[in-house]
Structure 1
Amino acid sequence: MKVAIHQPHYFPWLGYLNKMSNVDKFILLDDVQLTDSSNMFRNQLLTLNGSQKYITIPFIKNGYMQKSYNQLEINPLIDWQKLHSNFIKENYRKAPFFNEVWEKIKIIFEKKYFLLSDVTIDTILLLKDIFNISTEILMQSKLEYPSDSKKNQLVLDLCIAVKSNYYLSGKGAKKYMELNPFTEKGIVVEFQNFNMAEYPQFSNKNQFIPGLSVLDMLFNIGIDESIVIFNKQK
């Protein structure tokens, strides 16, 4: 049984969904600390002039390093949903498939949220449905494993917890991942091999900009064509 493990991301990029679609079970790390440099609370889209810009969910930072990701509260003093929806409308309303995609995602900006993890996980589940991904989603916080597990050992223990014999890792982990403990437990480790396919970006007349939230792709080429590209890269 194949498994992949990842932190929840806010409207993740296509490579994230590719990883999810190539396994039987996808474990979301909702019981770890937030990483400031990650997309666990933000992601990038394009402005009308073709420049990259983060849209960020504000969370209460007081003591956040002592809390798990699934305990982090959204800052109620900032109307992030209005800010994000306005940004998307201002910069993508002229995109070829804006209306089609907006109807699918606007619920994220209408629903009441209190926890950061609830937002990011909802965006992942929404995209999972759009791309017809059948993979089972599991929450780290719902699994039984040694509570002191960290880093490499945490990944191994989560694989053991779900009785997986195959772990699909991000290719960036090649630099530091210790493979021997997995081999000793009979778990095969493979590294994701994904290269972002180029597509037209209506606001960008220069070189293609990869790595953006998959929303950019959806707005530019639509759901059907995005699914075609997605399925070709599995």
Structure 2
Amino acid sequence: MKLAGMQPYFFPYIGYFQLIAAADRFHLADNMQFIKNGWVHRNRILKNGEESLFSLSLKKDSHSLAIRDRQLSTAYDRSHLLHQFHVAYSKAPHFRDAYPVLERIVANESDNLFEYLKYSIFSLVGYLGIATQIGVLSDVPVAEGLSMQDRLLDECGRVGATTYINAIGGVGLYAKDAFRQRGIELQFLKPALNPYPQFREVFVPGLSIIDVMMFNSADRIHSELLYRYELL
């Protein structure tokens, strides 16, 4: 069984969904620390031909809290965020198919950051036709007091994983030999962010999945774009 996992991100780039699609089981890491300048609560879209940052408004709290312990701000304006998406992509070829998905996700009434993000990931996985089983990391009874690598090995053992697929950014964090000694193959997924037509001539790679959805049909994303990666 192939296992992968990651913190939940808000409308992440397509590489995130390639990682999900490459695995049989995927764990959303709810118990990891929220990183203020990370991508958990924000991402980028194409607006007026330029990259534009969008984000969730969060309640002010300690940055040491886990993702599952953070809350959305009472000032979070869902309609304003949807308006940003509408202005940016109303003339995109697949706007009519993709925008209702964004509306359902943004309208989710949960104020808990993790629950809000989990709903968005499940909704997007459904739209993209990904069949991977998705669970929550804290539901796996991993032993306490372990290093990052040993926690991952323990997680693999508890769910019966024979392969663990990590995002390419983890190359320097985990040793393939340590996994091999436990009978587990460690792979790293390197996305190939191939160009697709946008509003501008020069392709802007790595934007939110929103951009991909607006310029590509769900069928094309599922049959082609989700599988443009390399396993190292």
Q: Does the pair score TM above 0.5?
A: yes
User: What does residue 57 of structure 2 align with?
Assistant: 58
User: What does residue 233 of structure 1 align with?
Assistant: 228
- Please say if residues 26 and 138 of structure 1, whose CA atoms lie closer than 8 Å, have aligned partners that are also in contact: yes
What is the Cα-based RMSD across aligned positions, in Å? 1.7
The one-letter code sitting in structure 1 at the alignment partner of 2:40 is: M
Alpha-carbon offset, residue 226 of structure 1: 2.5
User: What does residue 9 of structure 2 align with?
Assistant: 9
Q: What CA distance in whole angstroms lies between the structure 2 residues aligned with 1:142 and 1:109? A: 26
CA distance change for structure 1 residues 231 and 145 in 2, over 3 Å: closer, same or farther?
A: closer
Q: What CA distance in whole angstroms lies between the structure 1 residues aligned with 2:216 and 2:76? A: 32
Q: What CA distance in whole angstroms lies between the structure 2 residues aligned with 1:97 and 1:5? A: 29
- Please say if residues 105 and 126 of structure 1, whose CA atoms lie closer than 8 Å, have aligned partners that are also in contact: no
Q: What CA distance in whole angstroms lies between the structure 2 residues aligned with 1:197 and 1:174? A: 22
Among 174, 177, 194, the residue aligned to 1:177? 174
User: What does residue 72 of structure 2 align with?
Assistant: 74
User: What does residue 101 of structure 1 align with?
Assistant: 98
Alpha-carbon offset, residue 145 of structure 1: 1.0
- Please say if residues 73 and 115 of structure 1, whose CA atoms lie closer than 8 Å, have aligned partners that are also in contact: yes
Q: Which moved more, 1:221-230 or 1:190-199?
A: 221-230
1:85 aligns with 2:82: yes
- Please say if residues 165 and 188 of structure 2, whose CA atoms lie closer than 8 Å, have aligned partners that are also in contact: yes
The one-letter code sitting in structure 2 at the alignment partner of 1:51 is: E
Alpha-carbon offset, residue 232 of structure 1: 4.9
Alignment of 1:132-211 (within 5 A): 132-202=129-199, 204-205=200-201, 207-211=202-206
User: What does residue 21 of structure 1 align with?
Assistant: 21
User: What does residue 131 of structure 1 align with?
Assistant: 128
Alignment of 1:25-40 (within 5 A): 25-40=25-40
1:41 aligns with 2:38: no
Q: What CA distance in whole angstroms lies between the structure 1 residues aligned with 2:204 and 2:33? A: 29
CA distance change for structure 1 residues 73 and 149 in 2, over 3 Å: closer, same or farther?
A: farther
Q: Deviations over 1:153-174 (max 9, x none)?
A: 2222221221211111112211
Unaligned runs of 5+ in 2: none
1:115 aligns with 2:112: yes
- Please say if residues 167 and 189 of structure 1, whose CA atoms lie closer than 8 Å, have aligned partners that are also in contact: yes
Q: Deviations over 1:193-217 (max 9, x none)?
A: 3201210112x23x21111111101
Q: Which moved more, 1:135-144 or 1:108-117?
A: 108-117
- Please say if residues 4 and 23 of structure 2, whose CA atoms lie closer than 8 Å, have aligned partners that are also in contact: yes
TM-score of the superposed pair, with normalisation by structure 2: 0.92
The one-letter code sitting in structure 1 at the alignment partner of 2:75 is: L
Alpha-carbon offset, residue 3 of structure 1: 0.3
Q: What CA distance in whole angstroms lies between the structure 2 residues aligned with 1:55 and 1:126? A: 19
Q: What CA distance in whole angstroms lies between the structure 2 residues aligned with 1:184 and 1:61? A: 44
Unaligned runs of 5+ in 1: none
Q: What CA distance in whole angstroms lies between the structure 2 residues aligned with 1:77 and 1:105? A: 19
Alpha-carbon offset, residue 77 of structure 1: 2.2
TM-score of the superposed pair, with normalisation by structure 1: 0.91
Identity of aligned residues (%): 24
The one-letter code sitting in structure 1 at the alignment partner of 2:79 is: K
1:224 aligns with 2:219: yes
